[in-house]
Structure 1
Amino acid sequence: MRILSFCLLLLLISCKTTYRRADISSISQKEKAKVYDFGRRLLETCKTRQFIQLSEREVSKSLATLSLAEMQNACDAIGKTNGKFIDMKLIEVIDDTYTSNSKVYRYKGNFERNDVVREIRIWLGTDGKFQGIIWKEWQDEYTPYKK
Structure 2
Amino acid sequence: MKKIFILICILALYSCKTKKADGKLIGKSVSVNEMTSEEAIQKNKAYELGKRVLMTCNTSKFKPFSKSEATDKVIANSTEKKVKEIGAKYSLKYGNFKDLDFIEMVPNKTDNTNIYRFKALFDYAKANKELRVTMNSENKISAVTTKDWNDDFQ
TM-score, length-scaled by structure 1? 0.79
Which of 50, 53, 56 lines up with 2:61 in the alignment?
A: 50
CA contact (8 A) 1:123 1:130 kept: yes
Query: Any idea what the Cα deviations from partners look like across 1:81-129, whole Å, max 9, x if unmatched?
Result: 2111101111111011x21221001111110113131111111111100
Query: Any idea what the Cα deviations from partners look like across 1:42-69, whole Å, max 9, x if unmatched?
Result: 2112211122121111101011112211
Task: Please name the residue that 1:111 is paired with.
Answer: 122
TM-score, length-scaled by structure 2? 0.76
Which of 14, 29, 34 lines up with 2:22 in the alignment?
A: 14
| Runs of 4+ in structure 1 over 3 Å off | 15-19
User: Per-residue deviation at 1:17?
Assistant: 5.6
Q: Tell me, which stretches of 5 or more residues in structure 1 are unaligned?
A: 1-11
CA contact (8 A) 1:92 1:105 kept: yes
CA contact (8 A) 2:70 2:140 kept: yes
**What SS does structure 2 have at the residue aligned with 1:55?**
coil
- Change in Cα spacing, 1:72 to 1:30, as seen in structure 2 (3 Å) is same
Work out the CA distance in 2 between the residues paired with 1:19 and 1:113: 33
Work out the percentage of aligned pairs sharing the same amino acid. 24
Task: Please name the residue that 2:36 is paired with.
Answer: 27
Task: Please name the residue that 1:8 is paired with.
Answer: none
User: Per-residue deviation at 1:19?
Assistant: 3.7
Report the count of equivalent residues: 131
Work out the CA distance in 2 between the residues paired with 1:23 and 1:83: 29
Please list, as runs of the form range in 1=range in 2, the aligned pairs for 1:1-147 lying within 5 A after superposition: 14-15=22-23, 19-25=27-33, 26-28=35-37, 29-65=40-76, 66-96=78-108, 98-143=109-154
Task: Please name the residue that 1:9 is paired with.
Answer: none
CA contact (8 A) 2:24 2:110 kept: no
Pick 1 or 2: higher relative contact order, CA cutoff 8 A, min separation 6.
1
- Change in Cα spacing, 1:62 to 1:16, as seen in structure 2 (3 Å) is closer
Work out the CA distance in 1 between the residues paired with 2:113 and 2:90: 25
Larger helix proportion, structure 1 or 2? 2
Give RMSD over aligned pairs.
2.0
- Change in Cα spacing, 1:139 to 1:58, as seen in structure 2 (3 Å) is same
User: Per-residue deviation at 1:18?
Assistant: 5.2
